[in-house]
Amino acid sequence: MTQLSANDLKSVEGFIFDIDGTLALADRMLSGYQPLPGAIELIELLNQRNVPYVAFTNGSTKTPIQLAQALGKAGIAIQPDRTLTPPAVAVSIFRNKGYKRLLVLGVEGVWRPLAEAGFDIIVSPERADDADAVLVGWHPEFRLDDLDAACRAVWAGAGLYTVSTAPYLASREGRTLGISGALTAAITSVTGKSAVIVGKPAAEAFAVAREILGVPADRIAIVGDDLSLENAMAHQGGAVSVAVHTGLASAEDIAALPRAQQPHYSIQGVSALLEVLQ
């Protein structure tokens, strides 16, 4: 692990950026983004140079269009086709599985991309014991009826999927509860069934992001603040890992990792990446 230089980026042709803790910080309910230093200018520079990138969050509070709008209000100009959320990955997985009927635990940002893709969507607490799969996402208004509906569908044979099992994420208020992870843990504890992650660091998630970029894996830099997500996805997929210190992971956390698990580069924030690219 070394500091980043312009020479290190000569082979990089595209970027995957985390959002929360990397490009911006929101409040604990993941609204009201505030850009982190260098984020606005970095995205402007990539847009000007037509460098492919994807802003990929494990958050599912918003659809890609809503996410682009929220970032735009913060001055970070990213088009909707350059934003990626886990439900888009779920669409790819569920199509490959031949699933048709889905039970969703979550807000519009979770279920709408699936509905627009043509799936038959049932939103908890409505029951769907005949569902092919259950998808758990951001659901701050969770009730016991939601848990009951999900467990009954899983008991009846539905596959269990989640946008993320991360226990927390970065916000302006520090660590914020990862609601999908908590709900998934509850369903697993009742049913005994482990969930398939459709967000980072899943291989399928990297594959979808890579398809958007149109860049080989080894020419992609994944920039993020969560060592268990972005850093792990980079190592698993053969990409370049760039860890920032503006979210969950500090320089000390990174240095404490076993050498083989450390990111390739450790930088203070995307402002440092901006300086290298300018």
Of the three residues 154, 172, 197, the one that is the final residue of a domain is: 197
What is residue 2's predicted lDDT score, i.e. its pLDDT?
57
Res 4: pLDDT: 82
Same domain, 193 and 210: no
Q: Based on C-alpha coordinates, what's the Rg of the chain? A: 18
pLDDT computed for residue 29 by the predictor: 80
The verdict on 221 and 177 lying in the same domain is no
Residues 35 and 161 in one domain: no
List all residues 6 or more positions away from 259 whose beta carbon is below 8 Å from its beta carbon.
none
Residue pLDDT tens, the chain, 278 long: 557 887 888 899 999 999 999 999 999 888 889 999 999 999 999 999 999 999 999 999 999 999 999 999 999 999 999 999 999 999 999 999 999 999 999 999 999 999 999 999 999 999 999 999 999 999 999 999 999 999 999 999 999 999 999 999 999 999 999 999 999 999 999 999 999 999 999 999 999 999 999 999 999 999 999 999 999 999 999 999 999 999 999 999 999 999 999 999 999 999 999 999 99
**Same domain for 112 and 244:** no
The structure's pTM equals 0.95
Answer yes or no: is 1 within a domain: no
Residue 140 is predicted with a pLDDT of 94
Number of domains in the chain: 2
pLDDT of the residue at 155: 98
**Does the residue 233 lie in any domain?**
yes
Q: Are residues 90 and 193 in the same domain?
A: yes
For residue 268, what are the domain limits?
Answer: 6-84+201-277
Q: Verify that 91 and 192 share a domain, yes or no.
A: yes
The predicted structure's pLDDT at residue 169 = 94
Residues 98 and 147 occupy one common structural domain: yes
Residue 197 confidence (pLDDT):
98
Q: What is the CATH number of the domain that holds 66?
A: 3.40.50.1000
